[in-house]
Amino acid sequence: MNFPLIAPSVLSADFANLGRDIEMINNSEADWFHIDVMDGVFVPNISFGFPVIKAIQKQAKKTMDVHLMIVQPERYIKDFKAAGADILSVHYEASTHLHRTLYAIKEEGMKAGVAINPHTPVHLLKDIIKDIDLVCMMSVNPGFGGQKFIEQTYTKCADLKAMILASGSDCLIEIDGGVNEITAPKLLASGADVLVAGNYVFASNNPTETIASLKKLGTHTTQLA
């Protein structure tokens, strides 16, 4: 598998032309579909739910990476599996019994991710890092596409990488928010494996080329666990 993995965020797609935008991702060098689910409670925005995810899944030919920005995410694990999620990430801040939730996700045959807000220190993941397949590190406050990247993320990403290496975990680091041609190379140098990109891809003149330009920043190759 060639890193970085590129995960265009469907949140920035044109919903009136969703089929066209899904097809663009299918035919691009992107690796995953990043699907943002917001409940208007955990974050101050509402995005979309099961009918839309199922419709995307019908047409999508790549991994469905679902990022839940909802309270009590453990309520809907089976539903997201049924909707087509391959990777399901829940927020650390929204999960009282995170360990139980991660194993419930794995039990359904999905990869289990943990998303952390910009204010959440990575050391809080220390005792659970070996149980996590993916850390979705928020580099903006979750809720909206097109926000300004938070610079502290580089240090945080390097700290998390060190923790992962020390633990022997094969957890991937995904960076979510404000990824572009300036931030991406520095993120990869800090240990990032997966780059989510919404606005940078969909507001560009040639989204397919923009995805290819991120993919070209290639860092390393590894086996998928």
Q: Any idea which residues carry the catalytic annotation? A: 36, 176
Nearer to Zn ion among residue 21 and residue 36 (C-beta):
36
**How many angstroms separate the CA atoms of 72 and 126, rounded?**
22
200 binds ligand DX5 (CB under 6 A): yes
The CA-atom distances, in angstroms, between 126 and each of 75, 121, 173, 219 are 25, 10, 14, 25
For the record, the structure tokens of 151 come out as: 């610079």
Angle at CA of residue 101, ends 172 and 85, nearest 5°: 60
73 binds ligand DX5 (CB under 6 A): no
176 binds Zn ion (CB under 5 A): yes
Nearer to ligand DX5 among residue 206 and residue 221 (C-beta):
206
Q: Which of residues 104-163 bind ligand DX5 (CB under 6 A)?
A: 140, 142-147
Smallest separation (angstroms) from ligand DX5 to the CB of 7: 8
Q: 140 and 148 in contact (C-beta within 8 Å)?
A: yes
**How many angstroms separate the CA atoms of 109 and 57, rounded?**
16
Angle at CA of residue 5, ends 20 and 73, nearest 5°: 80
Smallest separation (angstroms) from ligand DX5 to the CB of 180: 8
Q: Give the count of residues interacting with ligand DX5 (CB under 6 A).
A: 22
Q: 192 and 175 in contact (C-beta within 8 Å)?
A: yes
Q: Which of residues 2-41 bind Zn ion (CB under 5 A)?
A: 36
Nearer to ligand DX5 among residue 9 and residue 28 (C-beta):
9
88 binds ligand DX5 (CB under 6 A): no
56 binds ligand DX5 (CB under 6 A): no
**How many angstroms separate the CA atoms of 157 and 134, rounded?**
13
Footprint of ligand DX5 (CB under 6 A): 9, 11-12, 34, 36, 67, 140, 142-147, 176-179, 196-200
Footprint of Zn ion (CB under 5 A): 36, 67, 176
